[in-house]
Chain A
């Protein structure tokens, strides 16, 4: 039976029609392409009227295949598949030609654009004729959810889901949840105490019957797909029995080994070898850090064990691998601070009184190493002047091009705290001030009124070598003041560098584990930057908070809640569709060479020894097609991307080149 193909060319308003002669293309396709029985152009194909047009033609003219030349299939493939299905056609007998993103928006020459559109439409028509009906598969959605990362975004997501009655496995790498927010003293612009608003949420997580909290733990492996993931989680040995431990803290008090805490105290304070990161930690049980513990180093000590009133120290505890089944995964792994040593001219690590923003946070924090007093590095002298340098490692082509989004406000907050707590004069060295959320501009105005000095200009150099009188014993910030229009040298006691927010050092590894990608800067990539900011290209994997890009607390919380809402939507649906794009091996053609076996990263191909053939396990296959391309006997077909379909597409896409080939086949040479 001959196929009856309908071709629909979209104007997309003037987005396509402004460059491409859509009427001409539609007319051309109707006349020149074999088996095309209907060919139309329409103002907006994706509108309900556009879809109805297709549906009517399918019913009226008995169309068996549909080609829509419009935008990217990533945007509207589903729309047109649904329209076809409504009219009683198999949804996989549709094909889109991407003539907007790939042609009209990228081409200046109208004639060339129209010619290219013809080739793309011809390709789609040739391809659609050999496409095969496929049946989408539906699988049940497991209502449990895995949340990776226990910062504020992960906490919010977990609580939303748990409160809705669904079970959550929350995995956190550190001994306690809380993330970066737990390190902060005050939150801008309202200046509420960070711990006061965070700790109730943390304890809610700890006590919630629907949350299984796993701290000191990391995701080891994720397999399966949307609706039915299997996660392997490595719970590192804490050497503390959580059932016996009461969290009294005597072990911590008695531990003789003090180490610099580079995580929670950002290197500014110390902790013990057995520790909880901070007083309000959830869970409250300590862990033993084997790298610094004297017993693990020398075999002697065991002070913690001796003083523990409940015998909760267990030396032979081993890492545990816990397997959980979940339907969806939310990733909220947050950010790392830019290593300010990478900008040597700013002197961090060389000049004692140059601090990072996280160090300064800890210094301002009443529960921090200085009990909230602002001192110079010696720990006793109160500074008389402080400079805050914005955009350290961000908005800078040499490090990170993006804006870290929170530093302006954090710098203003620091300015306020310094002026509140000390007599010091405060300078802010900024390039652009970006207080662009609710209440932020007002906070900026407040700091202007409070007398913070603002110097607009990029800091060139921070030095402790005096050049002019008055610079002895000071740190000198060299800056071009672009408002005054001159170079300035400003001597200060303390300088705070507002280091950039960077992707977690191991974000890429995690991305590979769960199958999502990172942007060039290293942040996890969302499905759509505007319309789908918490979903990813991998169904069932969501991202929330600063792992997606720099964010302040309100934005991270909003994303945590949004991701949870998306997951609830998945759970409420109960079933989820899985694309039937998988590979299949034809047994009769398979020689059992086993070339394909090791190519599959999902172990979806098994070898049947008794039959001497291989077989694809459809529930594991993700449809990449690498095995299809590798099979020397062409015994493997890739659904929706078969050789036949690609060759047909090639024939169409080069429809205007064929003549030349034929001419070349009979050369006038020799």
Chain B
């Protein structure tokens, strides 16, 4: 940032068994990719709580990458399917909050796919670079999604937000 060029900061949540090992493989095969992704290891993509992504954006990430094993190859049998569903739901919410699609991405990369991981990071970095920095709250206001808008959004989804009585 100091020299005026924008270097996006992307937080990558990688599962221990496939994607983290894909990133390891990219390293041991000396595949070069942009240094913009910073990796957090979780045991499974299913561990990624939607709040992790929200928190990352709040703390200043310009993009969040969620990566897990290919469907059908999960070390925990099927938990990446759950990650996939959560990804879709969070994506829906983020869309409503006017966050650009490219900032939140999902990647399946097996332990053998170092290249795939590196290519995806390179692609995502460029996409986010084009969008410019994400300044979460400023963007809301600039795009007219101020507090009133949020209240409107909540009202629209009132039914879904309700916790059913047991």
Interface residues of A (CB under 8 A from B): 72-74, 98, 100-103, 105-109, 112-113, 115-116, 119-120, 123, 508, 511-512, 515, 517-521, 525, 537-538, 581, 591-593, 599, 601, 622-626, 628-630, 632, 638, 641, 643, 646-647, 649-651, 653-654, 656-658, 660-661, 663-665, 667, 669-670
Q: Which of A100, A623, A643 contacts B51 (CB 8 A)?
A: A643
Report yes or no: B75 in contact with A537, Cβ–Cβ below 8 A.
yes
A92 to chain B, nearest CB (A): 14
Nearest to A627 among chain B residues (CB) is B46
Note all chain B residues with C-beta closer than 8 A to A650. 11, 40, 52, 55-56, 59
Docked-complex contact A669 and B79, CB < 8 angstroms = no
* Distance between Cα atoms of A146 and B102 in the complex (Å): 47
Q: Which of B33, B56, B78, B138 has the most CB of A within 10 A?
A: B138
Interfacial chain B residues near A654, Cβ < 8 Å: 9, 11, 38, 56, 59-61
* Given A511-B73, A591-B166; 13 other pairs, CB 8 A cutoff: A73-B41, A115-B35, A625-B43, A625-B46, A626-B47, A630-B82, A650-B59, A653-B38, A654-B56, A654-B60, A657-B59, A667-B137, A669-B141
- Which one of A624, A658, A667 contacts B46 once the chains associate, using CB atoms below 8 Å? A624
* Docked-complex contact A116 and B135, CB < 8 angstroms: no
Q: Roughly how many angstroms separate A632 CA and B112 CA in the complex, as a whole number?
A: 35
B75 A669 Cβ-Cβ under 8 A: no
The contact sample of 16 A-B pairs, CB cut-off 8 A, is A98-B41, A100-B27, A102-B24, A123-B38, A511-B73, A624-B47, A624-B79, A625-B46, A629-B46, A653-B11, A654-B61, A657-B59, A657-B60, A661-B59, A669-B142, A670-B141
Closest B residue to A638 by beta carbon equals: B47
Cross-chain contact of A105 among B30, B46, B86 (Cβ < 8 A): B30
Known: A601-B77, A670-B141. A517 touches B28 (CB 8 A): no
Closest B-chain residue to A537, C-beta based?
B17
* B residues near A624, Cβ cutoff 8 Å: 43-44, 46-47, 75-76, 79
The reply to whether the CB of B65 lies closer than 8 angstroms to some CB of chain A is no
Q: How far is the CA of A669 from the CA of B141 in the complex (A)?
A: 8
Checking A72, A511, A520, A670 against B24 with a beta-carbon cut-off of 8 angstroms, the contacting residue is A72
Question: 5 closest A-B pairs (Cβ-Cβ)?
Answer: A657-B60, A101-B27, A625-B47, A626-B46, A664-B135
Q: How large is the interface on B (under 10, 10 to 19, 20 to 34, 35 or more residues)?
A: 35 or more
Min C-beta distance of B155 to chain A, whole Å? 21
- Alpha-carbon gap, A279 to B39, bound state (A): 58
Q: How many whole Å from A181's CB to the nearest CB in chain B?
A: 28
A407 and B111 CA atoms in complex are apart in Å by: 27
Q: Write the chain B residue with the least CB distance to A612.
A: B166
Whether B21 sits at the interface, judged by CB under 8 Å, is yes
Known: A120-B38, A625-B42, A667-B141. A520 touches B78 (CB 8 A): no
Contact B38 A116 (CB under 8 A): yes
- Which residue of A has the minimal Cβ distance to B25? A101
B48 within 8 A of A: yes
CB-CB < 8 A to B77: which residues of A? 512, 515, 601
| Measured CA separation A234–B38 after assembly (Å) | 47
1/0 per residue, CB under 8 A from A, across B77-121: the answer is: 111001100100000000000000000000000111100001000
Q: Which residues of B are found within 8 Å of A517, using beta-carbon distances?
A: 17-18, 69, 73, 75, 110-111
Contacts A512-B72, A628-B47, A664-B138; is A113 near B60 (CB within 8 Å)?
A: no
The complex places the Cα of A93 from the Cα of B40 at a distance, in Å, of 17
Contacts of A647 in B (CB 8 A): 52, 55
- Which of A511, A626, A658, A669 has the largest number of chain B CB atoms within 10 A? A626
Complex interface: chain A residues within 8 A of B111 (CB): 517, 519, 525
| CA of A113 to CA of B141, assembled, Å | 35
A102 touches B39 (CB 8 A): yes
Question: Which residues of B lie under 8 Å from residue A508 when comparing CB positions?
Answer: 72-73
Q: Which residues of the partner chain B approach A98 to less than 8 Å between Cβ atoms?
A: 24, 39, 41
List chain A residues, Cβ under 8 A from B141.
Answer: 667, 669-670
B100, chain A: closest CB distance, angstroms: 16
Q: Are B24 and A101 in contact (CB under 8 A)?
A: yes
B133 to chain A, nearest CB (A): 7
- Contact at B30–A520, with CB atoms within 8 Å? no
B-side contacts of A72, CB under 8 Å: 24, 27
CA distance A469 to B1 in the complex (A): 75
Chain A residue at smallest Cβ distance from B78? A601
Are B51 and A665 neighbours in the complex by a CB distance under 8 Å?
no
Do B27 and A629 touch (CB < 8 A)?
Answer: no
Q: Min CB distance, B130 to chain A, in Å?
A: 18
If A105-B28, A629-B48, A647-B55 touch, whether A660 touches B135 (CB-CB below 8 Å) is yes
B151 at the interface (CB under 8 A from A): no
Smallest Cβ distance from A207 to chain B, in angstroms? 38
List CB contacts (< 8 Å) of B1-56 with chain A. Answer: 1, 7, 9, 11, 17-18, 20-21, 23-24, 26-28, 30-33, 35, 38-44, 46-52, 55-56
List residues of chain A with CB within 8 A of the CB of B49: 628-629, 643, 646
How far does the alpha carbon of A599 sit from the alpha carbon of B33 in the complex, in Å? 35
Using Cβ atoms and an 8 Å threshold, which residues of chain A touch B137? 664-665, 667
B149 within 8 A of A: no
Q: Are B30 and A622 in contact (CB under 8 A)?
A: no
A520, A643, A669 interface centre (most CB from chain B within 10 Å): A520
Give bound CA distance, A74 to B43, whole Å.
12
Residues of A within 8 Å of B26, CB to CB, are 101, 106
Q: Which residues of A contact B11 (CB under 8 A)?
A: 650, 653-654
In whole angstroms, what is the CA distance A517 to B72 when docked? 9
Q: Which residues of B contact A109 (CB under 8 A)?
A: 35
A105 and B27 in contact (CB under 8 A), knowing A650-B55, A650-B59? yes
Q: A107, B32: Cβ atoms under 8 Å?
A: yes
CB distance from A113 to the nearest CB of B (A): 6
- How far is B75's CA from A667's CA once the two chains are assembled, in angstroms? 45
* Inter-chain contacts of B42 with A (CB < 8 A): 625, 641, 646
Chain A contacts for B79, CB-based, 8 A:
599, 601, 624, 626
User: Are A601 and B138 in contact, with the CB atoms below 8 A?
Assistant: no
Q: Given B27, B78, B135, which contacts A661 in the complex, CB threshold below 8 Å?
A: B135
